[in-house]
Amino acid sequence: MSDDFQSRVTAAMANPENMGELPNADAIGTVGNADCGDMLRVWVKFKEESGRKVIDRASFQSFGCETAIAAASLAMELIKGKTAAEALAMRGEEFAKDLGPLPPTKVHCTSLVEGALREALAPVGNAPAPVPSHSAAPATLMDAFNKPDEKKSGVKVVFLKPGE
């Protein structure tokens, strides 16, 4: 791993933005990578702007590596002001472009971010976002994992296929 890449990740990690649960989120997506065991959840809140439903705020929580956290931190900023469809069109490499070229072993980390956003935003698309009740959803990833029954927790964890 290059020193440049590591120093950019370390800088992004030093002050990650948009970390933690977003109360009253309109959409939530959680994914895991079965190979490395890392997991990421995103929360997205929309607003109306010039007749479009755009992302007002987004946040994340991760049981993941530094690269996934750094990329998620960058991604939450990059998707602000975009529609769900526009954010869905973005790829993991775009989220992490400020980190510079990723080592091959770290490319999947950005896919985790892309996957979590896909899980959150795909049901929304261009249609008006329903405002689901998340009152039954656990507050944190740890809470979610501690729930013995996924259906009761209201949380769906999606494991990405290798190469995603």
Minimum separation from the CB atom of position 151 to ligand FES (A):
27
Q: Take residue 3 and report the two structure tokens written for it.
A: 């020193």
Can you say whether the dihedral through the CA atoms of 99, 101, 110, 64 is positive or negative?
A: negative
109 is catalytic: yes
Dist. CA 136–CA 126, nearest whole Å: 26
Stretch that binds ligand FES, among 12-20, 62-70, 125-133, 149-157 (CB under 6 A): 62-70
Under rule CB under 6 A, residue 12 binds ligand FES = no
Task: Find residue 28's DSSP bridge partners.
Answer: 43
Q: Which is nearer to ligand FES, 113 or 121 (CB)?
A: 113
Position 132: which residue type?
Answer: P
In the list 76, 79, 96, 112, the residue contacting ligand FES (rule: CB under 6 A) is 112
d(CA 42, CA 74): 13
Phi, psi of 45 (to 5 degrees): -120, 135
Give the one residue of 42, 53, 58, 64 binding ligand FES; rule: CB under 6 A.
64
DSSP state at residue 19: B
Active site includes 36? yes
The one among 27, 78, 109, 120 contacting ligand FES by CB under 6 A: 109
| Site for ligand FES, rule CB under 6 A | 33, 36, 38, 64-65, 67-68, 108-109, 112
